[in-house]
Structure 1
Amino acid sequence: MNTAPTTFATASISRSAAEDLLKAARTASDQIGIEVTIAITDGAGHLKALERSDKSPFLTVNVAIDKAWTAVSFGLPTHVWNAVLENPVVSQLAHQPRLVSVGGGYPVILNGQVVGGIGISGGNALQDQQACEAALKAMGFELVG
Structure 2
Amino acid sequence: MAQAAPAGFQHGITLDAAITIARETLAKGRELGLAPLTVVVLDGGGHRKALLREDGGSLLRPQIAEGKAYGALALGFGTRELARRAQAMQGFMNALSDLAGGSAVPVPGGVLVKSADGTVLGAVGVSGDASDKDEVCAVAGIRAAGLTPETGDPL
> What TM-score bracket applies, with the shorter chain setting the length?
0.7 to 0.9
Q: Taking structure 1 as reference, are residues 100 and 88 closer, same or farther at Cα in structure 2, changes over 3 Å only?
A: closer
Residue of structure 1 in register with 2:4 after alignment: none
Instruction: Report percent identity of matched pairs.
Output: 27
* Root mean square deviation, CA, Å: 2.0
Instruction: Give 1:53 shift.
Output: 0.5
If the length of structure 2 is used for normalisation, what is the TM-score?
A: 0.80
Residue of structure 2 in register with 1:77 after alignment: 78
Residue of structure 1 in register with 2:107 after alignment: 102
Distance 2:31 2:72 in 1: 23
Figure out how many residues of one structure are paired with residues of the other and give that number. 139
Residue of structure 1 in register with 2:27 after alignment: 27
Q: Is 1:72–1:108's contact at 8 Å kept on the other side of the alignment?
A: no
The runs of 5 or more residues in structure 2 that have no matched partner are 1-6
Distance 1:31 1:104 in 2: 17
- Mapped pair 1:93 → 2:99: no
Partner amino acid, structure 2, of 1:20: T
Q: Is 1:46–1:69's contact at 8 Å kept on the other side of the alignment?
A: no
If the length of structure 1 is used for normalisation, what is the TM-score?
A: 0.85
The runs of 5 or more residues in structure 1 that have no matched partner are 1-6
Residue of structure 1 in register with 2:10 after alignment: 10
Partner amino acid, structure 2, of 1:93: L
Partner amino acid, structure 1, of 2:68: K
Q: Is 1:77–1:106's contact at 8 Å kept on the other side of the alignment?
A: yes
Distance 1:82 1:24 in 2: 25
Deviating above 4 A after TM superposition, structure 1's stretches of 4 or more consecutive aligned residues are none
